[in-house]
Every structure is written in structure tokens, then in C-alpha cells.
Amino acid sequence: MAAENARALLDLSSLEVTYGPDQAPVVQDLCLRIERGQAVGILGESGAGKSTIALAILDLLPRAARRKGRIHFDGLDLLGRAESIRAIRFRRISLVLQDCMNAFNPVIRIGEQIAELWVCHERTRWKEALRRAGALLERFGLSAELTGSYPHELSGGMRQRVALAMAVALSPELVIVDEPTSALDVVTANAVVELLGAVRRESGASLLVISHDVSVLARCCDRIAVMGEGRILEEGPAARVLRQPEHAATRSLIAAVPRLAAFREKP
């Protein structure tokens, strides 16, 4: 690649994560680069260590967990200077958690939970922040009036949209999305995948999408890394990985998708 020697936005090398002193590593010898503006997908079955990578990047692992190797973000060593991670979280790297639709405080209105981001990070006034929260929701195809609602008044798909909207609220350079569609019906999942494309176009942020669903990654990623048992099994441009999978695990994940025809080599 041309940008091989240029600084990558996110550069993971020889990353190893263990969840306790005597435990086998959940992630080992993992290398992954994400360039600016790129969308990279991590594909793998449950338990492959996909979500652990996301948590490791943002230092959100349980206290007993240990990280080794190198996590460089835009030249910053995230493993070395743990105390500065708060300045990175959400401002420069945001993460949409796997169960993000349940990640709202049930007794605080949606608008306040969004506006809080600007109030706390940018010292915006509450009134202005609430107005911006409404505008942000409208950009994501939701009504601005939802700012006055409590989380339980929204459907799962709507909450997923709100979570995605919050992830780009502070214009981060990298948005990590963990299993964005796992709890959604097909139609809503479709809309969320389209939304991911919109997020990228609108904010210019790089995307790291984690999923076990090939069809999701196929539609929103430039490159795909396939994980199994804590390692990267193969990595390459999305089209190549999906059409000519080199690893047996990739083939079985692709075979698991009902609509196989979409990825078959056209005659």
C-alpha cells in the first residue's frame, strides 16, 4: 500500500490481552492498521475476542485484565499513557457498545443524555446543547421531539440510532461499532447499516465495525479482518476476502449467511 510508511490512524501490533494473571490470552499477536477515512471490519464468531479489542483500545477492560503489545492512535501510545485516555474517549475515538440500546439511564431524558456530551466536553450551555441534540437526532432520521422522551419510550432501532448519533456528537476521528445489528430485525438492521455509511460520509470518521455477520461488513467496510481464537486469520480488501476466502473459518462464516448469492463470483 502507498500509505504503508505513513502514520496510520490506529495501529495495533502484537496486541495481547489476558483477563487475569493465570488465564490464556483472549487476544494474541494481533496486528491491525486503520488508515484515516477507512472502514475496517472485524469478522469472527462469538468468543473470538472481537469485543475485547474494542475495550482494550479504550482501556475499558476489567481491572484484572492485562494488555501487552502496542496500541498507537495518531502517534499517541495508548498503552503507555493510560492517564490521558479520558481525553481520547469519545472526543477522538468513540465506541458504540454491543448492547447500546440498553445503555441509556432509564430515568434521564434522551435529550439530556445527548446534550451532556457537549456540556461536559465542550462546556456548552445546557440550552444550546439541547438544541444541538435535537438537530443531531434529525440528522439521523429521528424527530427532534425525542429529546423530551425517556429511553423506554423509544423502540430498539430508535435507541440504536440515538447511540450512533451520540457516537459522532463530538466529531471523533474513529468510531468503533460493536455488533451494531445483533439485536435488530432484518429491516431495522438494514437501516442501521445504511446509517453507518452515512456516519462515515458525513463525519469523515474512520470506522471499525465488529460483527459476526458477513453481510453487515460486506456493505460498509473497505477492508475485512477475520478473527478466530484471538488471532487474525486473514486480512484484506473486503471484496477479496469475501470472494476468495483463504481461511476455512472465513468460508464457514460466509456460508452461514442465508443469502449466499450476493457474494458468489459473477459469471
Partner 1 sequence: MSRSGLIISAAFCALALLAPWLAPYHPKADTDVPLAAPSARHLLGTDDVGRDILSQVISGSRISILVGLIAGLAAAALGLLVGLLAGYLGGAVDRILMRTVDVFLAMPRLPLLILLAAYLGAGIWVVVICFVLVSWAMPARVVRAQVRVEKQRPYVTSARLSGARSIYVLRKHIVPALSPLALAIVIMEISHAIMIEAGMSFLGLGDPTATSWGTILHHAFSYPALFLSDAWIWWALPPGVCLSLLLLGLALLAMEVERKVDPRIEGGRLGG
Give the residues lining the site for partner 1 (CB under 8 A).
58, 60, 63, 86-87, 89-91, 94-95, 97, 99-100, 102-107, 116-117, 120-121, 166
Nearest approach, Cβ of 58 to partner 1 (angstroms)?
Answer: 6
Q: For partner 1, which is the closer residue by CB, 109 or 223? A: 109
Residue 11 DSSP class: E
Nearest approach, Cβ of 83 to partner 1 (angstroms)?
Answer: 12
Nearest approach, Cβ of 247 to partner 1 (angstroms)?
Answer: 31
Q: For partner 1, which is the closer residue by CB, 100 or 146? A: 100
The letter for the amino acid at 187 is V
Q: For partner 1, which is the closer residue by CB, 65 or 249? A: 65
Residue 57's SS3 state is helix
Nearest approach, Cβ of 90 to partner 1 (angstroms)?
Answer: 4
Q: Tell which residue, 238, 221, 197, 211, has the closest CA to residue 53.
A: 211
Q: For partner 1, which is the closer residue by CB, 91 or 131? A: 91
Angle between helices 126-139 and 156-167 (to 10 degrees): 120
Block residue for cell numbers 469478522: 43
Contact (CB, 8 A) for 61 and 17: yes
Q: For partner 1, which is the closer residue by CB, 86 or 264? A: 86
Nearest approach, Cβ of 158 to partner 1 (angstroms)?
Answer: 16
Contact (CB, 8 A) for 30 and 230: yes
Give one word for 230, left, alpha or beta, with left for phi > 0 and alpha for psi -120 to 50: left
Nearest approach, Cβ of 93 to partner 1 (angstroms)?
Answer: 9
Q: For partner 1, which is the closer residue by CB, 107 or 187? A: 107
Residue 60's SS3 state is coil
Count of residues making up the chain: 267
